[in-house]
Structure 1
Amino acid sequence: MNRKISVAISDVSNKNWPFEGLKELIDFLKAEAKYWEEKRAAISPQNNTSNVHKHLDAHGILSNAVSTIEGWENILDSWDENQLNQQLNNLFQSISLQSSWLWSGHPFSNQFIKCYEIFGENAATAFLDLILRKQASNITNGESFLGSVLAYEFLNQDSNLTKRHISEQASLEHLRSTLDETTTQLIGKVESFTDNFSNWDTEIKNGWQDWLINTAKDFKTSQDTNKEGFNKYMKDCETRVSDLENTYQEKLRLEKPATYWKKAAKKYGFQGGLWFLALVSFVLLGILYFRDLYVSWLGGHEIAMNVNTIQGVVIFGSILAIYAFLVRTLSRLIFSSFHLMRDAEERELLTYLYLSLSKDREIGEASRDIVLQALFSRSETGLLASESGPTMPGIGELFKHSQK
């Protein structure tokens, strides 16, 4: 309820107290109510009647004022400063605060209470009349006369002292007034500091709570991202390990055939070389033999085989036919050996190509069947014209099937 106000209250002595904060006003009224309630309760039993001096009973008015102001808590926000000031002024006028309340800080307040406690209500009333209004009322009454005398003594108790004492008393009065004003300002500053601190504390708590929530969200997001990445990485690793295992198994299955085809290529190459040497030697021998025979025939020498007779022609033709057949046979053996060597080399190359494609997962079941059929099919020797086997697949055909 720390609303800004601009209200002033006065007591029976016409002393004025301005207030700029609602909380400051409430604390002031509570302090005054507590003071007069304690003084009222401390009065001796013979004077503690229900009909007491109105200033001693001011705690009731002050407490009612505090209760009324605190009861406005739910509707304070609907009033602006001017409306709140008007409500407070109306409240103080309705309870007659100025005519019923005597400030506890007056130098004569305590003397007033003692006068009432010792001499009664009439003496206390006469005491205040002389102190506040400079009037001596009803001095024919003994109690009133005593009250006036006590007031006179209070007002003139230092009249025979030096001016220094009077100056010091004035200084003390000034200090009292200054202390009262400073206390009022301090209360307002403390209330303002309390509100600012409460707002700061609320902002810090809210900021801390928001930070905790955002940090938890960021951590969960980061954890989910890392978990997803880790799971993906593990899945890729498992797939790669599986592919490597499959490739290794394929390698184990095809390593021996590849080695065999490599050795077979070397063997067929060596055989082809031998057959080629045999063919060259046989052709050279035939050329030398027929050259000698031809030279002898041209020279008119007698030769063992006479071609002038039918028998000689038949024998000579048979020799030529056998020679041609042997040359043709050796030629076919040479071509067959080199053909088988080339076939073995292609099978070896196809094996490693198949392993490479299997490693990179670029070969499907159709391509695999084609490759395996080609690798393990019967080879053509080239010696027989009617023999035929599966055609060795080309690289383009293999890639074509692997992309399907």
Structure 2
Amino acid sequence: MTNKEIQDKLKKAKSKDWYRNIVVNFEYNHIDVLIEKKGFFDIYQYVKRQNREWEKLTFKLPNVLTHSSNEFKNLQDSLERFIDNYIDEDDGILNSQWTTISNMIRSLSQNKRFPITQPITSFLIETYKISPQHFQGAHSYLIDNNRFNITTQQQFAGAIMAYEFRFEDATKIPKRRNAEKSSNATIRNHFEKYFTETTQNVNSFLQKATRASNAQDKKVSNLIEEKQEAYEKWVEECKKNDIEYTKQSLDRVKELEELYNSKLGLQAPADYWEQRAVELDTDGKKWRTWLIGSILISVIILVSIIFLIAYTKFEDLFTSAGNAIRFSILFIALMSIIAFAIKVFSKLMMSSYHLKRDALERKQLAYFYLALIASGGIEKEERHLIIQSLFSRSDSGLLKDDTGPSMPSGGNTIEKIIGGGK
């Protein structure tokens, strides 16, 4: 539990004065030490500091010191449980429950436990760390005054070490040791001096290296930013190009759909015009045959009449004026009928070939119209003019005034289309 947590709990306590005024005496009679603590927070801080120092020792301790460490640990746990369980209780219950904590504190002296913050404890720990075989003699000399008994040389040496610790101001042995320590201190000072200089050099080098590293990091950061900006710009351009490409593709698809629809709309008329051209070609050939037949008939009749006139006698035919008139009328009527038939057959033949040519031109104009739409060389307004010309009435040529309707502004439109929209 942290100090802040303890303080927060004390602020919320029901009996704040009790926690503030509680007094505890840590009596260590076996080492002649008395420590008084007032207030729960100070008591907890003292116990926690003992445990923190015990935990710093990484090597195995003798049992007598291990017991000291364990009892302080148990005492800290009990204090934490106490404040957790009785934070909302009044003074009477707190005093009643505090008895357990007081007994644990008194047991520290009764069981001859050592607070690690005392010099004698530090001496025993250092003795055990340097020469464990001397620890028993030093501990017996300092603690077991009434039962002090030396049975081995190691115990005797430990007792001498404890004697020097207790009477360091009266014996000369510590003085000699102090002289040696002074010499060692001089060596250590020289070492620390050179170590300090070396440390300064190392720090100077590290600072330079840090500055160089920071400069390099800045360059790398700038490079990363540049690449990031370039990447973002590239992404934006790709998005823009993709949008444009998508728009163009959609427009192209729409144009192709329109072209396909136009093709579907014009395919049937184109097929009709093609079939109509074949039919008209057949009709033209038929009327041409009739025309040739009529001409041949008329030629045969004329040749026959001329032959009869030249090689036979027609005096009887003209003996009377009435016979001559009747023969002349019949001859003229026959020739007129033959001439009229020749004229009719000629017009029918020329009309068929004319309409055939018109049908073929309309077919080609339909495909030309589709090609213009595919190439985009024609505007919507101009399409109506071409559609009007495609589906206008055809001139058959049979009547004198039979003329098809002209395309409005057709000449300018065709010139514009052929000229590439100039």
TM-score, normalised relative to structure 2: 0.50
Q: Distance in 2 between matches of 1:398 and 1:359?
A: 17
Q: Distance in 1 between matches of 2:317 and 2:394?
A: 45
Of residues 380, 383, 403, the one that matches 1:388 is 403
Of residues 345, 368, 371, the one that matches 2:383 is 368
Of residues 263, 275, 280, the one that matches 1:263 is 275
What's the counterpart of residue 291 of structure 2? 279
What's the counterpart of residue 334 of structure 1? 349
Q: Secondary structure at the match of 2:378?
A: coil
Q: How does 1:5-404 map to 2 (within 5 A)?
A: 186-187=198-199, 189-302=201-314, 309-391=324-406, 397-400=413-416, 403=421
Post-superposition Cα deviations, 1:92-118, rounded to whole Å, max 9, x if no partner, equal xxxxxxxxxxxxxxxxxxxxxxxxx99
1:392 is displaced (CA, Å) by 6.5
**Alpha carbons of 1:365 and 1:179: their partners in 2 closer, same or farther (altered >3 Å)?**
closer
**Alpha carbons of 1:177 and 1:237: their partners in 2 closer, same or farther (altered >3 Å)?**
same
Q: Distance in 2 between matches of 1:263 and 1:232?
A: 45
**Alpha carbons of 1:319 and 1:392: their partners in 2 closer, same or farther (altered >3 Å)?**
farther
1:190 is displaced (CA, Å) by 1.6
1:267 is displaced (CA, Å) by 0.7
Q: Which runs of 5+ in 2 are unaligned?
A: 1-167, 170-178, 180-186
**Alpha carbons of 1:287 and 1:249: their partners in 2 closer, same or farther (altered >3 Å)?**
same
1:285 is displaced (CA, Å) by 2.2
Q: Distance in 2 between matches of 1:208 and 1:380?
A: 84
1:337 is displaced (CA, Å) by 0.3
Q: Distance in 2 between matches of 1:383 and 1:210?
A: 89
1:206 is displaced (CA, Å) by 1.0
* Aligned residue identity for 2:414: L
Q: Distance in 2 between matches of 1:211 and 1:333?
A: 88
1:316 is displaced (CA, Å) by 1.2
1:345 is displaced (CA, Å) by 0.8
Q: Distance in 2 between matches of 1:398 and 1:389?
A: 18
Q: Distance in 1 between matches of 2:326 and 2:407?
A: 51
- Identical counterparts, % of pairs: 28
1:203 is displaced (CA, Å) by 1.2
Q: Which runs of 5+ in 1 are unaligned?
A: 1-116, 119-153, 155-174
**Alpha carbons of 1:403 and 1:355: their partners in 2 closer, same or farther (altered >3 Å)?**
same
Are the aligned partners of 1:279 and 1:327 in contact in 2 as well (CA < 8 Å)? Answer: yes
Q: Distance in 2 between matches of 1:348 and 1:339?
A: 14
**Alpha carbons of 1:380 and 1:323: their partners in 2 closer, same or farther (altered >3 Å)?**
same
Q: Distance in 2 between matches of 1:377 and 1:356?
A: 21
Post-superposition Cα deviations, 1:242-275, rounded to whole Å, max 9, x if no partner, equal 1111111111111111111111111111110111
Farther off after superposition, 389-398 or 335-344: 389-398
The structure in which a higher percent of residues are helix is: 2
1:183 is displaced (CA, Å) by 5.2
Q: Distance in 2 between matches of 1:396 and 1:267?
A: 34
Post-superposition Cα deviations, 1:28-60, rounded to whole Å, max 9, x if no partner, equal xxxxxxxxxxxxxxxxxxxxxxxxxxxxxxxxx
Q: Distance in 1 between matches of 2:213 and 2:205?
A: 12
1:189 is displaced (CA, Å) by 3.2
1:195 is displaced (CA, Å) by 2.1
What's the counterpart of residue 22 of structure 2? none
Are the aligned partners of 1:367 and 1:398 in contact in 2 as well (CA < 8 Å)? Answer: no
1:303 is displaced (CA, Å) by 9.6
TM-score, normalised relative to structure 1: 0.52
* Aligned residue identity for 2:421: Q
